[in-house]
Amino acid sequence: MSSGHNRDILADAASRAARYLDTLDDRSVQPAPEAVNRLKDALGETMPELPSEPEDVIALLDDIGSPATIASAGGRYFGFVTGSALPATVAANWLATAWDQNSFSSVSSPAIAPFEEASLRWIKEALALPTTAEGTFVTGATMANFTCLAAARHQVLKKAGWDVESQGLFGAPEINVVVGQEVHATVFKVLSLLGLGRDRVTVVPADDQGRMRSDALPALEGPTIVCIQAGNVNSGAFDPADAIIDHAHKAGAWVHVDGAFGLWARASTTFAALADDLERADSWATDAHKWLNVPYDNGIAIVREPDSLRQAMSISGAYLLASEQRDPIDYSPDSSRRARAVDVWAALKSLGRQGLAALIDRNCHQAQWLAEHLRKSGIDVLNDVVLNQVIVHFGNEKRTQRVVDTIQNSGVCWCGGTTWQNQPAMRISVSSWATTDDDIERSFEAIKAAHEEIAP
């Protein structure tokens, strides 16, 4: 392929992507059902026998794909806890894709290994975590929880005289896993993958904001892992880290923090106090594709004791010559993988410490503004809005569902349904760099209009 050919197709993709992003503001956040059906019909074709020109592939992709997307890259998508992608991160991601580096080792990519070290160093600095901790880049907080809890499993069993990497869990001392009642569902999945079981955990009751009740913590003994949540996926509330960590560490337990988005409060000057004391934990899982606003997929696992992560993750067969340098594969559940650290580097480089703090602060203030104005309009806000999450409901289950549907169909903004303390509710998560104050006002008007339109 000629160099001119590369340039043409990449420039074409870039101009299509720019047009997509530039027109997001004027289109419905939720795609038209016809656009999604058109995509599905087009994808129904049988596997082509003959090749196509790359330009034609991209033109078709844009034609059938772009209109069917949900506008989560824009400023008025408040579903789940979803960031957009900062301009520098989209562009960096493309450039790194062109490099096509295999990030598993310093030999396979002398460039990406140092990016991993630099990005981890900056992340630890931004989140005020111990500078000597080790970490890795994975697909998301689910895999970050997996990676951290594998390191935890290693360490608590090692202390009990058991080598879990070589012997597995058959015949191993039992591990007591403690979670809060409002633990994220993915932690249960991770526990099942690690052989620790979904149903044999100790579940500590939560208070009305979803925080683990530290006064209800059981006495702990033997190999124990305690999971703290920093940022409840509905309310944004934080488990009381200080009391839990004291209690757990007194018993020699490992403390893991699921801070998929909440850990980023530590990068703010205004909201950092919510996440105080978490630096005393033993491992931390977070997402970069949520509040750091990098492209999917990108999660980060950080472990205080480098050795526990390394022992849990390294390939003991050592078919590769050990190099002098730090090899990413020794800290990661993956082997070959893309250069996620580049996207994180680009985000932190383009934001700087001040830009990152401003992003977190702005989203939290926007959530507070929304909550205040929704309350004034007679809409029930169910949580204390401490971070970027607002939970509302509209009377009974049926009406709440109808209001959520009306909001989604309005195309102005997108909020999802959820369940909060056994009642159906709507969650508004403000986590995007692209969300302006004007977006917040327009979205407020759309929510208010839906509330007024649907009969009680």
Ligand X SMILES: *Cc1c(COP(=O)(O)O)cnc(C)c1O
Nearest 5°: phi and psi at 177?
-110, 130
Residue nearest to ligand X according to CB distances in the complex: 140
The structure tokens 């935890």 sit at: 152
| Beta-bridge partners for 391 | 427
Inter-residue contact 279 to 128 (CB < 8 Å):
yes
Restricted to residues 212-231, the positions that interact with ligand X (CB under 6 A) are: 229, 231
Inter-residue contact 453 to 394 (CB < 8 Å):
no
Inter-residue contact 227 to 183 (CB < 8 Å):
yes
Restricted to residues 132-151, the positions that interact with ligand X (CB under 6 A) are: 140-142
Smallest distance, ligand X to C-beta of residue 85, A: 14
If one asks whether residue 182 binds ligand X (CB under 6 A), the answer comes out as no
Smallest distance, ligand X to C-beta of residue 395, A: 27
If one asks whether residue 81 binds ligand X (CB under 6 A), the answer comes out as yes
Smallest distance, ligand X to C-beta of residue 287, A: 5
If one asks whether residue 418 binds ligand X (CB under 6 A), the answer comes out as no
Smallest distance, ligand X to C-beta of residue 53, A: 36
Restricted to residues 325-364, the positions that interact with ligand X (CB under 6 A) are: none
If one asks whether residue 184 binds ligand X (CB under 6 A), the answer comes out as yes
Smallest distance, ligand X to C-beta of residue 134, A: 20
Q: Which residues contact 302 (CB under 8 A, 6 or more apart)?
A: 120, 123, 124, 129, 133, 134, 135, 148, 283, 284, 285, 286
Q: Which residues contact 92 (CB under 8 A, 6 or more apart)?
A: 342, 343, 345, 346
If one asks whether residue 233 binds ligand X (CB under 6 A), the answer comes out as yes
d(CA 411, CA 413): 6
Q: CA distances (Å), 236 to each of 180, 227, 382, in order?
A: 14, 16, 12
Taking CB under 6 A as the binding criterion, the range among 106-114, 253-261, 402-410, 418-426 that sits at the site for ligand X is 253-261
Sign of CA dihedral 74, 408, 27, 17: positive
Nearest to ligand X of 238, 444 (CB atom): 238
Out of 179, 260, 367, 428, the residue judged to bind ligand X by CB under 6 A: 260
Smallest distance, ligand X to C-beta of residue 340, A: 12
Out of 109, 186, 268, 400, the residue judged to bind ligand X by CB under 6 A: 186
If one asks whether residue 299 binds ligand X (CB under 6 A), the answer comes out as yes
DSSP 266: G
| CA dihedral of residues 393, 398, 401, 403 (deg, nearest 10) | -70
End-to-end CA distance of the chain: 64
Smallest distance, ligand X to C-beta of residue 296, A: 9
If one asks whether residue 194 binds ligand X (CB under 6 A), the answer comes out as no
x/- string (CB under 6 A) for ligand X, residues 82-121? ----------------------------------------
Residues that bind ligand X (CB under 6 A): 81, 140-142, 184, 186, 229, 231, 233, 258, 260-261, 287, 299
